[in-house]
């Protein structure tokens, strides 16, 4: 990646600065906000026209971290900002936040009363051309292996910027009893695995930790990725539907909504504020919302169920949810093992009126 981009990255030499970036490493929000909902629209099997019409929408963001890495990323020139604001010296235990995240929070009502510390640095979109290269190669992929490979080429870069040097261990294979006792007595000893009478694997903590990973990039990617998810929720979905939409479940790069509307796809086709943020290339080519140009483009949201109809959704907590998909009456006689009355059971779990089984 560095060879392709030609970018030189500075390493952090200020330990307090390193700690501040480490404290700011936070993943995406994962939670079940509304535990259960049942869709009621003309495309469901048990549609009741006397009740309010509603849809369950499951949307996933394409290559969220790839999109974030295409934005301005820090690369050097790290310095503390001089304390010119009231309380800038105050080193209370506060959670660091990126500039774009703070700007977004202020627009949505946050009031900043005090600034404690600020790090300034140089930044540019130096990583964007590498992400764009892998995105284009992924679009041209002819099989699943190639699709996954070029996606992982982006994810591997992010993973290296998040690598924790503190968790690295030193392992020593010991066959001598005296040496084994000596190693166990060290203050850095963690644990020992015995393979046989003459061979043991001893794990030790490192005495010295070499912080040689650009974790400031990982910090920026995590924070910037959140701005896209929040922007889509507040400025696209909630702005369009207002009180008629409820966020049921959110994961790092996906959102599940219960929407009070006659037809979500009619809304999508009629409103460019919605459609322009969607990658609809996975929908049937004759679908009114089908657009091929944005296929697999980072930062666009796609339909997780490919225009099939989610009839029920139940979320218990983070990473534990189940939903049913209605595949249509013509599919009713196929694969009866995993379907009930034309409803295809999603692999995440199975639901019936009395029990939910999460796999």
- Strand 301-303 to strand 278-279: parallel, antiparallel, or no bridges (unpaired)? parallel
> Domain segments of the chain: what residues?
31-63+227-358, 169-205
Kindly give the residue spans of alpha helices, DSSP state H, lying in the chain: 2-5, 15-23, 64-69, 99-107, 128-139, 144-161, 177-184, 215-232, 238-241, 264-270, 272-275
Which helix (H) or strand (E) covers residue 245, if one does? Answer: strand 245-251
Which helix (H) or strand (E) covers residue 208, if one does? Answer: none
What confidence score (pLDDT) does residue 306 get?
Answer: 87
What confidence score (pLDDT) does residue 162 get?
Answer: 92
What confidence score (pLDDT) does residue 338 get?
Answer: 46
Whole-model pTM: value is 0.83
For the stretch 27-75, pLDDT in tens is 999 999 999 999 999 999 889 999 999 999 999 999 999 999 999 999 9
Burial status of residue 102 (CB atoms within 10 A of its CB: 0-12, 13-18, 19 or more):
middle
What confidence score (pLDDT) does residue 114 get?
Answer: 80
| pLDDT less than 70: residues of the chain | 82-94, 327-359
What confidence score (pLDDT) does residue 339 get?
Answer: 44
What confidence score (pLDDT) does residue 260 get?
Answer: 97
Report whether 47 contacts 336 (CB < 8 A): no
| Spatial separation of the C-alpha atoms in residues 333 and 62, rounded to whole Å | 34
What confidence score (pLDDT) does residue 350 get?
Answer: 52
């Amino acid at each position: 990646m560095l060879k392709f981009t030609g970018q030189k990255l500075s390493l952090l030499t200020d330990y307090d600065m390193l700690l501040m970036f480490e404290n700011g490493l936070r993943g995406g929000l994962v939670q079940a906000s509304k535990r259960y909902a049942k869709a009621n629209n003309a495309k469901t099997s048990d549609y009741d026209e006397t009740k309010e019409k509603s849809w369950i929408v499951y949307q996933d963001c394409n290559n969220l971290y790839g999109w974030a890495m295409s934005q301005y990323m820090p690369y050097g020139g790290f310095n503390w900002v001089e304390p010119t604001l009231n309380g800038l010296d105050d080193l209370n235990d506060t959670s660091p936040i990126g500039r774009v995240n703070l700007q977004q929070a202020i627009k949505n009502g946050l009031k900043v009363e005090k600034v404690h510390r600020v790090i300034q640095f140089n930044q540019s979109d130096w990583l964007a051309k590498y992400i764009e290269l892998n995105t284009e190669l992924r679009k041209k992929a002819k099989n699943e292996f190639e699709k996954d490979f070029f996606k992982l080429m982006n994810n591997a870069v992010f993973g290296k910027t998040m690598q924790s040097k503190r968790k690295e261990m030193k392992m020593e294979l010991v066959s001598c009893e005296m040496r084994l006792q000596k190693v166990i007595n060290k203050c850095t000893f963690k644990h020992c695995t015995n393979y046989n009478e003459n061979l043991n694997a001893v794990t030790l903590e490192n005495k010295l930790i070499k912080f040689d990973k650009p974790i400031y990039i990982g910090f920026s990617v995590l924070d910037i990725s959140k701005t896209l998810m929040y922007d889509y929720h507040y400025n696209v979905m909630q702005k369009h539907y207002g009180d008629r939409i409820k966020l049921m479940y959110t994961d790092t790069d996906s959102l599940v909504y219960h929407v009070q509307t006659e037809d979500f796809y009619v809304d999508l086709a009629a409103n460019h504020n919605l459609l322009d943020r969607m990658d609809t290339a996975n929908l049937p080519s004759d679908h009114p919302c089908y657009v091929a140009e944005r296929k697999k483009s980072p930062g666009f949201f796609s339909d997780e169920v490919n225009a099939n109809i989610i009839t029920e959704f139940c979320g218990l907590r983070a990473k534990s949810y189940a939903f049913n998909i209605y595949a249509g009456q013509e599919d009713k006689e196929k694969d009866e093992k995993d379907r009930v009355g034309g409803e295809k059971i999603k692999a995440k779990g199975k639901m019936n009126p009395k029990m939910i089984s999460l796999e």
